[in-house]
Chains A and B, each alone.
Chain A
Amino acid sequence: MDAITPPALVEALALRDALPADRPLNLSRRGLLGASLGALVLGVALRGAPARAQAAAAGGAAKPGTRVPAFLEIRPDGAILLRSPFVEGGQGVSTAMAQIVGEELDADPARFVVECAPPGADYMVVNGRRLTGGSFSVRSSYATMRQLGASARRMLLQAAATRLGVPLDSLSTEPGRVVHAGSGRTLDYGALAAEAAALPVPDGAPLRAEADFRYIGKPVARLDAREKSTGKAVYAIDLAVEGMLQAAVQHAPRLGCEPGAIANEAAVKAMPGVHSIHRLPGAVAVVADRWWRARRAAETLEVAWSEPAADARNVMPADFSSDGMRAALAAASGPGNTAETVGDAATALKGAARTVEASYDAPYLAHGQLEPPSAIARWNADGTLDLWLPNQAPEMFQRVAAQVAGIAPEKVNIHSPMLGGFFGRHFLYDAASPFPQAIQLAKAVGRPVKLIWSREEEFLRDALRPMGLARFRAGIGADGLPVALEAEAVGEGPIGRWFGTKPGAADPSAVEGISGKPYAIPNRQVAHVPLRNPAVIGFWRSVGHSMNDFFYEAFFDEMADAAGQDPYALRLRLLAEKPRHKALLEAVGALSGGWKRGPYEAADGTRRARGVAMASPFGSEVATIAEVSLKEGEVVVHDVWVAIDPGRIVNPAIIEAQVNSAVALGLSSALLEEVVYADGAPQARNFDGYPILPPDRMPRVHVRIVESGAPMGGIGEPGLPGVPPAVVNAVAALTGQRIRSLPLSKTRLGAA
């Protein structure tokens, strides 16, 4: 994932205007403000995990997720610091980790303070890697983190046994302390932490019986609700370090263009608070004492941008447009790379009583997380570099930051604050993160630099959900059941872009949601027709599912219509041999008061209809029903019912919240969102031109969690993919209009 490896970055940077820092600063001198544990002085640590754990952990040979001191510190008052492998960005993973570890440690999750761990081998608990994404955090680390908690509890018990001079098996625990029932004596964990720290990590510490769980599976309160309700939560954009300057950039209008002459450089340099002006790869930057001064100066710069060099990487063509891209996707012919083959779809189509064909597409999308990207870079006297930045993968950012800085990775200290939303935004994508610029600016000015991208610069450099298109052909048999389905997903997925795919192989992130569907259609052929996006693309909540389940599940209703069947009944019939899916579809039907497609008249006199969709994203199963009406040509979504089966669960309240959140984002994409490019530039640079779901378009959301006992699936993303097709299918039922291109705001609905 060498996404950001500009080999000539250092050389390209004009190290000019390194003025002495002679301007008065009005920044706090208290050093790092608002670090997540700034107020929590950890008195006693289990073997004193170092503040710079990355260096220590990097050398450790222990299996990831086993070295208790790398994860846990317990202070005398019983507060527990957990260094989590995962970053909290709203999905509730910090609370989930406290529940899982607390369950086995025997400690109330409310006593935990959770922060994202620094880079280090100890934290590579996601199949030997580390990232926060793919709805993978809890399900990938559940067993590891349980065992970690159990190991820590065992160490505390051993320390207590030694202290009290009693056999270990005469001791038990209750939340936060060890109990010797024989004598009635108790010892708080905080009082044992130092002794426990001296002990080796035990093997095979026993786990609590699931029937005795008090925290796992319960709606434990989020650890961060109060700080987030009082403005005390600290995000990267809120941080300050002693002596820092602040920077803003003006990016090249198109990727690949480079800054040339600046017509008004002297005038801008004279603007209030301006420290220096810098040319960076693909951008100009202003460093100032305060951010607003830097921003105002940066946007004032009149820059002559060169056209991209012939050999430049990642060039945004001057004539690129999203309309043109859609046409290119439509023109890209198959057969492409096979993703799924069952039976013989081509032959079955020839023999079908009738066939149905349709082409669907979905636009580029922006992440629109409300916290704009930022980074603080501080070069230290010993040659090390500290970086504070939003990220979903500390080790990956560490490695790339080291390349940019020209130092060894272990000399880069990565700090990963809480994220003000992410949805896939904070992985590594080309030219999509401020940290390389911050590193270079800090080097140039000889002081720490905090760089914030304005919302407008963020819209210019966000890594987009790719535009996609899918062509379907289905054959209906004489019995009214589908006998064959052919599908071609045209475009590019972020897995292929950033991790590569084998030659001739389908990109899973381009076909997921079209392949892997559970319906009993006896002949199926799914292929990926690759077409590269000139725009930088990235992961966006539910990735390929975010559009592919819309394509497939909407086309499914077209098949049902062609076969003269009710779409809910046809799904049930084609899931007859899939008990997990069938049960879920029945569950969402029941949750909605019994399936009815409509149209029908609601109590308020509006004419309404419902649509249904299924999805199998990220190891979970989801069934969704939406009810809609029309108002002045726009769809009104009244209720969304979601039944979700993640197999097994950790926190039902957070699951319900995440489903609400996924419904909102899925609905936002269905109704409103579209990044439009013209002449190589995004036409919207803020939320006025790129509307996202406002409160008055939020439907009621009803959630039923089904614990089937299947292997644990994901939670953060799975609620999304079913929403666009359920809404579009409801619109079709209501109006007869079959919408095959999102967002719905492009089409005036109902009688013209």
Chain B
Amino acid sequence: MTAAVSISGLVKSFGRFRALDGLDLEVLEGEVHGFLGPNGAGKSTTLRILLGLLRADSGTVKVLGGDPWRDVVPLHKRIAYVPGDVSIWPSLTGGEAIDLLGRLRGGLDEKRRKDLLETLELDPSKRGHTYSKGNRQKVAIVAALSSNAELLILDEPTAGLDPLMEATFREEILRERTLGRTVLLSSHILAEVEALADRISIIRKGKVVETNSLEEMRSRTRTNVSATLDDGLGALTALPGIADLRIEGNRVHFSVDAQTLGDAMSVLARHGMSALTVTPPSLEDLFLQHYGEQHEPSGNEDDQRLNASFFARRGRRRAP
């Protein structure tokens, strides 16, 4: 497979603030690629560079084989974008805005436009300034998905959508994938990425810290185990690859890496195991591994602290 997007060593500064600090990213053709990170990590800046809205300070960026800054018009015929915070001309209706974008790209898929308006329950005859945030988002989604573009760049597309619409949106994205489209989906909603993405890149402070499929990320991470045993609680401590061991009466909690998982299971079986819970690492665990000051297994109160520190992390501030 060839790469629809390939970025290496991308640097972008705004004044003294270094938004992107040697970012590498590769999105393969035909995949849904999750781009994961909190606000201010540099997601939107990366996407804007891919669209030629911002100019890279250094590094190489290729989109569909072209230079996004130089080849704006030919490239944009093949790309559709949903911005993170859609704003619609106050005096235009949603339908007019969709058709404007369509006309600029030389026409759109009329049937898809009609179907999308129906499934997303969007009234195209309302004026821009009367739409809610979710409805503005829908306008941009309809414009992007009815464009038959090869590459969809979506910047937190479900922000403002209600849960039902979020589910509808997921179906539409999966449908795009079956049509062979490439999707770059930036988000901080882990469940959404978990449900849609073939591969995931985690961005932190302007750098991609990990790119992999969710399966592989999981296989290289620790699994959380809770078990109730009759005896021999001490036997576990002897096992290598076990961490975060906590013993509460005859219940035991620990995390274990993939290689030791089999050994751990046989130890548990030998000591009269009567209950067992094995939780694969959630995306949240993987994410926190990169973002938490230290990795803590889920299920204890430290998660709250990590979550709090993650969401409170200061990034590039958005103007009100």
Q: A and B bound? A: no
